[in-house]
Amino acid sequence: MNVAATPVSEKVVTVTVNGTTYEHEVPARRLLVHFLRDDLGLTGTHIGCDTGSCGACTVHLDGVAVKSCAVLAVQADGGTVTTVEGLGDEELTPLQQSFSDHHALQCGYCTPGMLMSATALLAENPSPTSDEVKVGLQGNICRCTGYWNIVEAVVAAGKGSA
C-alpha cells in the first residue's frame, strides 16, 4: 500500500502557485482558498459565499478554472495553481486593461474571480462572442455592475477585437 493511501489529518503539500513552489503542512480540512489567502498570504482570491455559488474564489488549478472554496488544499498537492496575482506583473494584461477601460469593476471584490474565469475562457476561445462570454462567466456573481460592462470588456479583450 502506498503511503498516499494512508489517511492523514495533516499533510505536507507541495503546490506551485504563480510559478513559486511551496511546501507547507496543512490540515486535511483546509480549503484551498484559505490556504492561498491565509497560509500563503495571497489575498487577491476572495470569498463571497459558503455554498460554492459565487465564484469570487476562482483560480486555475492544473490549467482549468475552479472554485478554490470547493477544493481542499490537499487535493492540490502536486498541482499548479494560478491566482489573480499571477496574471500579470507590473504592467496590466490586456484583459485587466480592458476591464478598466470598460468600467467592468466597481468594488473590485468579484474582479479577481472574473479575471480568472475570463482568462481561462480566452485561452480556449480567443475571440468569444457575448453569449460565449456569458456562459464562461456564469459561475461568477457580481452585485455591482450587472455584468454588461464585464461581458463587453472580455469581448473587447478577445483577439482581433478593438
Partner 1 sequence: MLLREVSYARPSTVEEAVSLLTEHDGARALAGGQTLVNVMKQRAASPDVLVDLADLDELRAISVSGTTLEIGAMATLAAIMRSSEVEVSRPILAATAATVADVQVRNRGTLGGNICVNDPTNHFPPLLVALGASMTIRSAVGERVVTAEEFFVGVFETAVGEGDLLTRISVPAAGKGTGDGMAGVTLGAHGTYVANAAASVVDGTWRIALGCVDAVPHRAAAVESALVGADVDEAAVRSAVEGLGATLDPPADVHASAEYRRSLAETSTVRAVLQAAEKARG
Partner 2 sequence: MTAVETEGTTTLQKGAVGQSIPRKEDRRLVQGQGVFFDDVKRHGMGYVHFVRSPYAHARLVSIDVSAALERPGVYGTLTGDEVAILTDPFFQIAAEPGGSVKDYALAVGKVRYVGEPVVAVVAETRELARDASELVEVEYEPFDVVVDAREAVADGAPVLHEECGGNVSYSGVWEWGDVDAAFAQADHVVKISELHFARFNSTPLELDGALVEFNRGTGQWTITTNNQFPGFAVIMMAPAMRVGTDKLRMVTQDIGGGFGNKITSHPQLVALCLLARKLNRPVQWTEWRTDFHQSMSHGNERWFLDTEVAVMADGTMTGFRSRALDDAGAYLRYEPLGGVIWSQVAPGMYGWRNLRLDFTQVMTNKAPCSPNRGYSRMQHLWFTERIIDIVAHELGFDRVELRRKNYVQPEQMPYETPNGCVYDSGDYPRALEAVLELIGYESVEQRRADAASRGKLLGFGIGSTLDSGTNNFGQSQLLNPDLQFSGNNEVATVKLDIFGEIVVTLGTTPQGQGHETTAAQVVADILGCEPDIVHVRAGHDSYWNSHAGFSGTYASQFAVTGLGAVKGAAEDLATQMKTLASMVFQCPIEAIELADGFARIADNHEAALPFMALGAIPNANNAGFPVDPPPMNARYVFRPAFQVPDKEKKFGNLTLTYSMQIHACVVEIDQETGVYEIVDYAAVDDCGLRVNPKIVEGQVMGATAHAIGAAMFEVFAYDEEGNLLTPNFYDYHVPHTLDMPPLKTAAIESPSPFTPLGTKGMGEGGGGGIHCICAAIQDALDASGRAIVTSSYNPYHRVWEMLREPERSRGTVEVISK
> Closer to partner 1 at the Cβ: 58 or 96?
58
The 3-state DSSP class for residue 70 equals: helix
The 3-state DSSP class for residue 141 equals: coil
CB 20 within 8 A of CB 5: no
Selection from partner 1, partner 2, none that 119 binds (CB < 5 to 8 A by kind) is: none
Contacts of 51 (CB under 8 A, 6+ apart): none
- Contacts to partner 1 by CB under 8 A: 1-2, 4-9, 11, 27-29, 31, 47, 50-52, 55, 58, 64-67, 69-72, 74-75, 77, 117, 120-121, 135-136, 138-140
Cα separation, 10 vs 29, whole angstroms? 8
Q: Whole-number minimum distance, CB 90 to partner 1, in Å?
A: 29
Selection from partner 1, partner 2, none that 23 binds (CB < 5 to 8 A by kind) is: none
Cα separation, 70 vs 58, whole angstroms? 10
- Alpha carbon 137 to chain centroid, angstroms: 12
Binding segment toward partner 2, per CB under 8 A, in 4-12, 42-50, 72-80, 120-128: 42-50
Q: Whole-number minimum distance, CB 116 to partner 2, in Å?
A: 10
Q: Whole-number minimum distance, CB 10 to partner 1, in Å?
A: 9
Q: Are strands 64-67 and 80-82 parallel, antiparallel or unpaired?
A: unpaired
Q: Are strands 80-82 and 10-17 parallel, antiparallel or unpaired?
A: parallel
Q: Would you give the binding string for partner 2 spanning residues 61-100, x where CB under 8 A is met?
A: ----------------------xxx-xx---x---x--xx
Cβ atoms within 10 A of the Cβ of 5, count? Answer: 6
Residues that bind partner 2 (CB under 8 A): 27, 29-30, 34, 37-38, 41-51, 53-54, 56, 83-85, 87-88, 92, 96, 99-101, 103, 105-112, 115, 133-135, 137-151
